[in-house]
Amino acid sequence: MTSPAPSPPKPSGTPLRIGVLLFPGFQALDAFGPLDCLNVLSRTQPLTLSILSHDLSPVTTKTPSSPSSIAQSILPTHTFTNAPPLDVLLVPGGLGTRLLDSEPITASIAFIRSVYPTLQYLITVCTGSGLAARAGVLDGRLATTNKRAFGELRAWGPDVEWVAKARWVVDGNVWTSSGVSAGIDVALAWIAHVYGEESARGVANGMEYRRVTDADDDPFAELYGLE
Amino acid sequence: MTSPAPSPPKPSGTPLRIGVLLFPGFQALDAFGPLDCLNVLSRTQPLTLSILSHDLSPVTTKTPSSPSSIAQSILPTHTFTNAPPLDVLLVPGGLGTRLLDSEPITASIAFIRSVYPTLQYLITVCTGSGLAARAGVLDGRLATTNKRAFGELRAWGPDVEWVAKARWVVDGNVWTSSGVSAGIDVALAWIAHVYGEESARGVANGMEYRRVTDADDDPFAELYGLE
């Protein structure tokens, strides 16, 4: 469960094409933790970002049935049907993933299934791994997810080798993280892997963020009774 | 520089009216760290949220001169001129604060100056304290800010008692935090103060976030040569 050996820093000049998949009821920090790491990275490395959803309506953090009384709305740049080619897909989680048969969620799952073979990397945060699991792309792989929702998520991917105690898990080109704030740590670990440790440290220090650098360092598995 | 004694948990039933002030070039995590804490809090406590900007255009994380190659855009709900009454104003920072004489920034500063006397709490993240300083509301107060930008920010508020080594600082009803990710810690400290420690712990655990609970615990002051 340790990270793979670092690849050499990515040669600059070639933009890495990132996509983030949003649906109503995504968890804001699941998306904006990694995205802000990428925003900072993109000051020194060329990136493109597509913000993808099932349609071009602003995507709210709140579902109709959400217990939250407040919300924020983000503008998508593309739909799943006109998405440009992507190298990396980032999939956040959130309560919206629980609307199992809703159009945004079934469309998200279909998109993950169709785009995955073209990706260099798939990165999920929190219950975003549940969407990847339902798309079938985690079958036979090690993966993790939100620790409070762990039991529930197991049923979404019976053929996934779910890892309870992990801040994040890397299996092949799939990087899955634990709940919400763990997305920042998996993003920084992925930046270290692709662009080198110096880049990851620079982003973390610029954000005054104390990284978890050990993928196995996860006190929340125990907190939620998974050990 | 320790937090004030906790006030009794806020009686439920009365929504606290939160506003977040956005401008082009705000740092995404400065805003969405605290906002996502509030999103989770709002599952159990009544809150309202106004997303305020100088006009109703989507607010981008990128300025025209930004070195970032990627961005996200957020929908505001109100302008500064039609803002509803607020109990709490949250002010993120970001490279956009450096566009000193731009319309969004001068309008933001004028709004902070006019609304401050009506607030129960002002919370700033990162260089958001620079906007509050330029509005004059930090004069004679202890405050902190982004550590890499500390020298620059000092000039924006020559009558502010800037504190170099602090994850966050509380002075009266003004809560200022250090850079970017410190906004999550000041938000959780503020939630503990207003709603009780149990609420803050619940939000942090739900987000699988390891809080900094000591306001003086700040390794970034030393990292950026401020000690």
Q: What is the pLDDT of residues B158-199, one digit of tens each?
A: 999 999 999 999 999 999 999 999 999 999 999 999 999 999
Q: Which strand (E) or helix (H) includes residue A20? A: strand A16-21
- For chain B, positions 57-86, list CB contacts with chain A under 8 A: 58, 61-62, 66-75
Superfamily for domain range B16-223 = Class I glutamine amidotransferase (GATase) domain (3.40.50.880)
A206 at the B interface (CB within 8 A)? Answer: yes
Taking alpha carbons only, the member of B15, B172, B191 closest to residue B86 is B15
- Residues A95-139 pLDDT 10s: 999 999 999 999 999 999 999 999 999 999 999 999 999 999 999
- Rounded CA gap, A125 and A181, in Å? 9
Residue B7: burial class (beta carbons within 10 Å; 0-12, 13-18, 19+): exposed
Q: Which residues contact B20 (CB under 8 A, 6 or more apart)?
A: B31, B34, B35, B49, B50, B51, B52, B89, B90, B91, B92
pLDDT of A3 strictly over 70: no
CB B53 within 8 A of CB B44: no
Query: To the nearest whole angstrom, how far is the Cα of A53 from the nearest Cα of chain B?
Result: 14
Section B14-36 average pLDDT: 96
Please report the pLDDT score of residue A72 as a whole number: 98
Section A9-20 average pLDDT: 76
pLDDT bucket at B13, cuts 50 / 70 / 90: low
Determine the straight-line distance between the first and last CA of chain A, rounded to whole angstroms: 17
Please report the pLDDT score of residue B1 as a whole number: 39
pLDDT of B7 strictly over 80: no
Question: Which residues in chain A have Cβ-Cβ distances shorter than 8 Å to B75?
Answer: 58, 72-75
- Residues A165-197 pLDDT 10s: 999 999 999 999 999 999 999 999 999 999 999
B133 at the A interface (CB within 8 A)? Answer: no
Question: Which residues in chain A have Cβ-Cβ distances shorter than 8 Å to B184?
Answer: 181
Pairing of strands A16-21, B16-21: unpaired
E strands in chain B: 16-21, 47-53, 59-60, 73-74, 78-79, 88-91, 121-124, 142-143, 161-162, 168-171, 174-177
Q: Which of B52, B107, B109, B126 is catalytic?
A: B126
Secondary structure class of A87 (helix, strand, coil): coil
Does the annotation mark A126 as catalytic?
yes
pLDDT of A2 strictly over 60: no
Cα dihedral value B61, B64, B70, B72, nearest 10: 30
Residues in chain B: 227
pLDDT bucket at A12, cuts 50 / 70 / 90: low
Taking alpha carbons only, the member of B212, B154, B23, B45 closest to residue A208 is B212
ipTM of model: 0.94
Which of B42, B71, B180 lies at the smallest CB-CB distance from A207? B180
Structure tokens that stand for A118 in this block? 């073209």
Q: Which of A126, A137, A143, A169 is catalytic?
A: A126
- Rounded CA gap, A169 and A141, in Å? 10
Q: Reduced to 3 DSSP states, what percent helix, strand and coil does chain A have, rounded to the nearest 5?
A: 35, 15, 50
Section A44-58 average pLDDT: 97
Query: To the nearest whole angstrom, how far is the Cα of A51 from the nearest Cα of chain B?
Result: 8
CATH number corresponding to A16-63+71-223: 3.40.50.880
- Residues B73-132 pLDDT 10s: 999 999 999 999 999 999 999 999 999 999 999 999 999 999 999 999 999 999 999 999
Average pLDDT for chain B: 94
